[in-house]
Amino acid sequence: MKECIKVKRLLSRYLDKETGDADSALVEAHIDICPLCKKELSELSRIKELILGKERRTLPEDYLVCRLREKIASEQYTEKRLSLVGIGSLSRRLIPVPVATIILLITFLFLISTGQQVSESSLEDNILSGAPVTTEAALGLILGVQD
Amino acid sequence: MNEDNLYIEQFLNGEEKGFEMLVRKYQDRALNIVYSLIGRDRESEDITQEAFLKVYRSLRSFRQRCRFSTWFYRIVVNMTYDFLRRRQNFLSNEGVLKRSVASSASPRDALFRKEKEQMIQEALERVPLKFRVALVLKDIEGLSYIEIARVLRCSIGTVESKIYRARQFLKAELLKSGGGAI
């Protein structure tokens, strides 16, 4: 029984011809006297045969080479075009920086101008409606200075 | 210098032919590994193509600390892992693949063979991936334990145990599906 456990661990390896001489001899001697381990070896061997006999896929000889050529050529063409217009790989990585800066700047200017209009109009509304307005604010409106 | 190194040398000297020779040599091997792992024709073809594209892009940085085949199989296995992680159930089963079935087989034999083939493939796909990979590299690609250990970056003992467990799983799965194949 103890030997069965040891041999069972070796069976798969034995089947793959990966055991040394001593282990191979041990397996062979054991399966001669142990029907259970012999059966196990025969089943493992059948499993191996099934996988070995599995249908193999083949690609038409130049099919993949042609597909790869096309793919590589198209990648190289894109790369070349980008570098021709001065957009190399480094510059492409750097593009987001100026773009983000410009977007931020435009947003900032827009917000400032909107804020200015809102506060100017609310001050004018206050003056026209007769609501109390501080002298400083009224002077600011006249001189075009904001808080 | 072995054949692969010669092709690599040609490629590094600017000859695309070197790369193409590597593709011709390894395309079916890669394809069969991927197919045995995922069981889908078209996707196996795409993964194989992507693996070669990766080789094309990185061959210049390949330091040759291991054999090209080891490095290449590692790429193939990793790309298959990535695919299986992303996999969804929309996959088709078409493709331009030819199967090496004997053309003389009668339609009845062909049908029987196809069913059996499908049963084995489905059983194989139910074997946990970590064990299945080792078994496929052994029985489909015929690598030795030491080569598998290098591809999977593990010990020979681990390879041995993975293959043994894969076979046990496969046996159980085939018995579950009727046991006719065993």
- B174 to chain A: closest CA residue: A47
Q: B2 with B76, same domain?
A: yes
Residue B11: which domain range? 1-88
Q: The domain that contains B121 carries what CATH number?
A: 1.10.10.10
For residue range B155-173, what is the model confidence (pLDDT) as tens digits? 999 999 999 999 999 999 9
Whole-angstrom distance, CA of residue B83 vs CA of residue A6: 38
The total number of structural domains that make up chain B: 2
Are B18 and B75 part of one and the same domain? yes
State how far the alpha carbon of B69 is from the alpha carbons of B5, B50, B76, B132, in Å.
10, 16, 10, 19
Whether residues B167 and B115 share a domain: the answer is yes
Q: How far is CA B91 from the centre of its chain?
A: 18
* Within-domain flag for B98: no
Interface of B with A in 108-167 (CB under 8 A): 113, 117, 120-121, 124, 135, 138-140, 144-145, 160, 163-164, 167
Beta strands in chain A (DSSP E): 57-58
Rounded distance, CA B172 to CA A43, Å? 11
CATH number where B53 lies: 1.10.1740.10
The verdict on B83 and B112 lying in the same domain is no
Check CB contact under 8 Å for A72 and B53. yes
Cβ contacts of A11 on chain B, cutoff 8 Å: 164
When the pLDDT of each residue in chain B is averaged and rounded to a whole number, the result is: 88
Do B74 and B110 share a domain, yes or no? no
Work out the minimum CA distance from B180 to partner chain A, whole angstroms. 11
**In this structure, is residue B71 part of a structural domain?**
yes
B65 lies in the same domain as B10:
yes
Given this model, what pLDDT does residue B131 score? 97
Task: Report how far apart, in Å, the C-alpha atoms of B109 and of each of B97, B114, B159 are.
Answer: 20, 8, 36
Q: Per the domain annotation, does B82 fall within a domain?
A: yes
The span from the first CA to the last CA of chain B, in angstroms, equals 44
Q: Is the pLDDT of residue A78 over 90?
A: no
Residue A130 has pLDDT above 50, yes or no: yes
In this complex, the residue of A12, A52, A54 whose CB is nearest that of residue B163 is A12
Same domain, residue pair B56 and B137: no
pLDDT of residue B94: 44
Do B76 and B112 have their domain in common?
no
Q: Side chain identity at A38, as an amino acid letter? A: K
CA distance B177 to B174: 5
Can you list the alpha helix ranges (DSSP code H) found in B39-104?
41-58, 68-86
Structure tokens at B182: 């065993």
Contact present, B47 and B78 (Cβ < 8 Å): no
State how far residue A107 is from chain B, nearest Cα, in angstroms. Answer: 39
DSSP H or E segment with residue B99: strand B98-99
| Residues above pLDDT 70, as percent of chain A | 71
